[in-house]
Amino acid sequence: MNLKGRNFLTLKDFTPEEITYLLDLAADVKEKKKNGVPVDNYRGKNVALIFEKDSTRTRCAFEVAAHDMGMGSTYLGPTGSQMGKKESIEDTARVLGRMYNGIEYRGFGQEIVEELAKYAGVPVWNGLTNEYHPTQMLADMLTIRENFGTLKGLKLVYMGDARFNMGNSLMVACSKLGLDFVACTTEEYFPNAELVAQCQEYAKESGATITLTSDVKEGTKDADVIYTDVWVSMGEPDEVWEKRIKELSPYKVTKEVMANAKEGAIFLHCLPAFHDLKTTIGKEMGERFGIEDMEVTDEVFESVQSKVFDEAENRMHTIKAVMMATLGIE
């Protein structure tokens, strides 16, 4: 399998075999890391990490992975570079492409990362846009595979706002890899019809199904994986909190939801999570709306079924695999 020179932007342009190859590579480098086997054959290479939005996992995963591979990395935050202010994306891409072997971008519209990829001349990796979060998908699929030994035929239920990056990307990943995908939320929060139609085509090939339902009992019944994400994503205006809390509360992951899923079901969340409201935003929302949690209860988050920290760790191993494969296996 040769993925050298490829961008990693949505996962839509990767075949199931290519995605499986990346998962296998990630499992291999994870094992190597555990055993202290170095993978630092990429010495002399450098990567640029552009973050127009905040990040803990994605930034740290790219930095640690690059370091383990022997590469240098440069973090470019929301301020401090010329990009988008004095200098166009097109020009920035051409400049960075002359100095770096690969570029990660986290930010707003998908069109920005696509534009970078068009002009950079080196692999560009999407570290989250409003529409897609493809590196997260590899970590999620690896975590699921580690728990069940397989992906095909499992049922994954996504609860919450399924129109944004996580809902979209999970639907793409599941339909490509043969997992039955359920978006369990109110109709307003269903993924957009065009993407659903495209994923139906992938599902035909893989044997997956795609279900959109507002019925929690029916939707979560016999699920293998229950997945949720924050109800308000980065970059969204403050005004949406009240509406989201009101409309999405019936789709919170509770112990009743987990009990309705299959025995041995696991809980996943890309994180950060509002399972308790101890953070600054959490405290503010807790006081404003008189709530103690949001998309998942603390009880589920802290339960043995919750694999969220394995999932977070797997961000690093899978991102390492993406960089290795697209920079060329050395």
| Positions that interact with ligand NVA (CB under 6 A) | 128, 164-166, 229-230, 233-234, 270
Residue 124's nearest CA partner among 8, 4, 3 is 8
Q: Give yes or no: 110 in active site.
A: no
Choosing from 133, 163, 244, 269, the catalytic residue is: 133
Q: What is the DSSP letter of 191?
A: P
Active site residue 54: no
Q: How far is the CB of 77 from ligand NVA (least distance, A)?
A: 17
Stretch that binds ligand CP, among 50-58, 91-99, 250-258, 285-293 (CB under 6 A): 50-58
Residues 62, 70: Cα–Cα separation, whole Å: 12
User: Taking the alpha carbons of 94, 99, 103, 106 in that order, is the dihedral positive or negative?
Assistant: negative
Active site residue 59: no
For residue 229, the partner it binds in ligand NVA, ligand CP, none, with Cβ less than 5 to 8 A by kind, is: ligand NVA
- Closer by beta carbon to ligand CP, 270 or else 296: 270
229 labelled catalytic:
yes
Residue 58 or 147: the one with the smaller Cβ distance to ligand CP is 58
Binding residue for ligand CP (CB under 6 A) from 128, 184, 203, 210?
128
**Alpha helices (H) along the chain:** 16-34, 57-68, 89-99, 110-120, 134-148, 165-177, 193-206, 216-220, 240-248, 255-260, 280-289, 298-301, 308-327
Cα radius of gyration rounded to whole Å, the chain: 19
Near ligand CP by CB under 6 A: residue from 7, 130, 136, 326: 136
Nearer to ligand CP, 240 or 271 (CB): 271
Query: Catalytic residue at 60?
Result: no
Selected catalytic residue, list 184, 229, 244, 293: 229
Give the residue carrying structure tokens 């990693």: 8
List Cβ neighbours of 176 (8 Å cut-off, separation of 6 or more): 11, 14, 15, 16, 19, 202, 206, 208
Catalytic residue among 6, 136, 174, 269: 136
Kindly state whether residue 271 participates in binding ligand CP, applying the rule CB under 6 A: yes
Q: Is 269 a catalytic residue?
A: no
Is 106 labeled as ligand-binding? yes
Q: Is there a cis peptide before residue 237, judged by omega within 30 degrees of 0?
A: no
Q: Please say whether the beta carbons of 137 and 241 come within 8 A.
A: no
The item of ligand NVA, ligand CP, none sharing an interface with residue 166, based on CB under 5 to 8 Å by kind, is ligand NVA
Q: Which two tokens stand for residue 188?
A: 């307003």
Amino acid at 91: D
Applying CB under 6 A, which residues contact ligand CP? 55-58, 128, 136, 270-271
Known binding-site residue numbers for L-ornithine: 165, 229, 233-234
Binding site members for carbamoyl phosphate: 55-58, 82, 106, 133-136, 270-271, 315
Active site residues: 106, 133, 136, 229, 270, 315
